[in-house]
Amino acid sequence: MTKNIIIAPVGDNMNALYVGLKEFPTERVYLLAPGDYSKAAEKASKDLERFGTPSKIISLKGDVWEDMFRKIGEITFAEKGNNVIINTATGDRTTTCAATSAAFVNGIKAFSIEKGTAMLLPVLKFSYYRLLTDRKMDILKMLAKPDCCMSLEELSKKTKMSLPLISYHINGNLKSEGLKEMGLAETNEIRGRLEIKLSMLGRMLLNGYVN
């Protein structure tokens, strides 16, 4: 019987961890713990040891969303070839959302717990990198620079692309999604000018936390 590698954010609903173990034969568990839940992570690790299931506590630091994506990316890379599943039900509101989002954008299997039963989530497997043209990637890399960009006009000059082309790549059209619709860039009108910046997802993609 194939055993699974379980990733579980540590939070308010750790009982869901053990429900998941009953549904999915488990080889080992990674416990992703924000600072406020370090004691809960230690307790869960000791409980798992009594069940004969090895575990590893990984602390989340700084921005929980970004570090969640980074740690899940590192784990799936280290466990390449193994069946990795994320238990999204164990965390608090923030870590549950972050773990579910990381599963979705990276195409990792995930489940939640509903009325004591594990329920697989409909995770879509796709790659942002396949959707991004070279010019869209150039725009994202430019937006990642600290001195960019207060307006579309400024972005146009720095990328040496025409303003209509920049607008197309940011906003898209009926046939092609723009960076805004893909969730990789955000715009905000300030004093009549449209400021453009990387979204959190865009920053994580450039940092290699998203496949």
Is domain 4-120 annotated with CATH 3.40.50.10770? yes
Q: Which helix (H) or strand (E) holds 7?
A: strand 4-9
Q: Count CB neighbours of 73 within 10 A.
A: 19
Tell me the β-bridge partners of 7: 30, 86
Beta strands at 84-87 and 185-190: parallel, antiparallel or unpaired: unpaired
Which CATH number applies to 128-206? 1.10.10.10
Confidence (pTM)? 0.77
Q: Please tell me the predicted confidence (pLDDT) of residue 125.
A: 62
Looking at residue 202, its pLDDT comes to: 87
- Concatenating the DSSP letter of every residue in 139-192 gives HHHHHTSTT--SSHHHHHHHHT--HHHHHHHHHB-SSSB-TTTTTSEEEEEETT
Pinpoint the residues of the chain covered by CATH 1.10.10.10. 128-206
Q: What is the pLDDT of residue 79?
A: 95
The pLDDT, as a whole number, for residue 51 is 86
Whole-number pLDDT of residue 1: 60
Residue found under tokens 């969640």: 68
Write down the pLDDT at residue 40: 96
Nearest to 33 by CA among 54, 7, 59: 59
Q: CATH 3.40.50.10770 in the chain, residues?
A: 4-120
Successive 10-residue mean pLDDT values, the chain, 211 residues: 90 93 94 95 96 95 91 92 95 94 88 90 70 88 86 90 92 86 85 82 81 68
